[in-house]
Amino acid sequence: MNKSITYSCPSNIALVKYWGKKEGGVQLPANASISWSLSDLRATTTVQVSPKKAASPQLAFLLDGIPKPSFEPKINNFLKRIEPVLPFLGEVDLHISSMNNFPHGAGIASSAAGFGAMAMALVEAEGQLEIGSAAFLQKASFCARLGSGSASRSVYGEPAIWGLTQSYNGSSDEYAVPFTADIHSDLSNWMDAVMIVDAGEKSVSSTEGHALLSEHAYAESRFDQAQKNLNEILSVLQTGEVERFIALVESEALQLHAMMMSSIPYYMLMRPHTISIIQEIWNYRRETSLPICFTLDAGANVHVLFDARYQEDIQNFINTRLLSYCQNGLYLCSATGGKPEKL
Ligand code: PMV
């Protein structure tokens, strides 16, 4: 087969965090998580498929047009993991070219968007499922998960739930599902401004961080807490209890970092400016009562989440009180809720 397929896929930010894997499987989450996709922070990936020329399939990978052989072992590992569900991969050579629409070295993980886009293109290349159908998206999510767990959540425009939970019918550890309930208007149009506190490499990768949960003294109570938070956030998204939403989201971010700080060996990814931004947000919320809060992923950068109806006020707040804490004054702003697009 000869095909060239391009997808653009958004990144996502977890509201309830995936942190820790289940034993006895590949890339299965210890607890269920939920995220919003970030419409304006995307990877655009072209996958070219051609019949293999050598005995074993060959891969070439380019990032922003530049060959990146250093990424190939990770992608080859991903391809091996998904070959059982996409057997044509054993018969083809792949040329994969990916770009992000946000600057490199911004310290923003691009793996969720990148593996999401790659998975969509590969499932389409197989040609077995109707493009964009529920079965297609589920298979793409299944494959994306085997590249990076959080990538499983990037294939939907709705909030995405990944991980088996009694709180949501049809949920699974193997793929994410869209949360299709009606979201209250006070929580359906939020934005994310990512304050770049530290653009450098993380001192401890997510892969290493997840692994430290297997011997973690607080792991079981964290997984219980995540389950409770997920259950509650699903209800809050529908009832529009914004104060409760904020409390859950901020608590999740701090719990994630508390788990890092109480791992053995312990470590810390927050930086002094991370804390300063959090304190500024708390002060500003006390002063104005506006719907704004923070979350964190596994790094020092702060995601400022806010209701888009207050964008002007919050933009002003960011400019006057947060930018001085950002490396080179850099931040990235995105709407939430975009879905992948076939180009
Ligand atoms: O998908 P990974 O292995 O990079 O892990 C992501 C973990 C967090 O970003 C910290 C939380 C999450 O649920 O996205």
Q: Which atom of ligand 1 is nearest to the CA of 33?
A: 13
* 43 touches 85 (CB < 8 A): no
pLDDT at 93 (0 to 100): 98
Q: Is 302 helix (H, G, I), strand (E, B) or coil?
A: strand
Separation of CA 29 and ligand 1 centre (Å): 10
Rounded average pLDDT per 10-residue block, the chain, 343 residues: 95 98 96 97 97 95 94 96 98 97 74 96 98 97 97 97 98 98 98 94 89 97 98 98 98 98 97 98 98 96 98 98 96 96 97
Question: By CB neighbour count within 10 A (0-12 exposed, 13-18 middle, 19+ buried), where does 188 fall?
Answer: middle
Q: Is 12 helix (H, G, I), strand (E, B) or coil?
A: strand
Same domain, 154 and 212: no
Q: Cis omega (within 30 of 0) on the bond before 340?
A: no
Instruction: Look at residue 223 and tell me if it is in a domain.
Output: yes
Separation of CA 149 and ligand 1 centre (Å): 7
Cβ < 6 A, ligand 1 pocket: 14, 17-19, 33, 111, 148-150, 206, 256, 297-298
pLDDT at 128 (0 to 100): 97
Instruction: Look at residue 343 and tell me if it is in a domain.
Output: no
Same domain, 267 and 160: no
Nearest residue CA, atom 6 of ligand 1? Answer: 150
Same domain, 129 and 236: no
- Token pair belonging to 27: 């890339």
Write the CATH number for 77. Answer: 3.30.230.10
- Spatial distance between the Cα atoms of 192 and 321, rounded to a whole number of angstroms: 16
**Hey, which of 12, 13, 19 would you mutate to test ligand 1's pocket, going by the most ligand atoms within 8 Å of its Cβ?**
19
pLDDT at 107 (0 to 100): 66
pTM exceeds cut of 0.95: yes
Domain count, the chain: 2
- Spatial distance between the Cα atoms of 168 and 165, rounded to a whole number of angstroms: 6
Instruction: Look at residue 118 and tell me if it is in a domain.
Output: yes
Structural domain including 236 reads 185-335
- Spatial distance between the Cα atoms of 225 and 195, rounded to a whole number of angstroms: 27
Same domain, 60 and 174: yes
Asked which of 183, 212, 237 is the last residue of a domain, the reply is 183
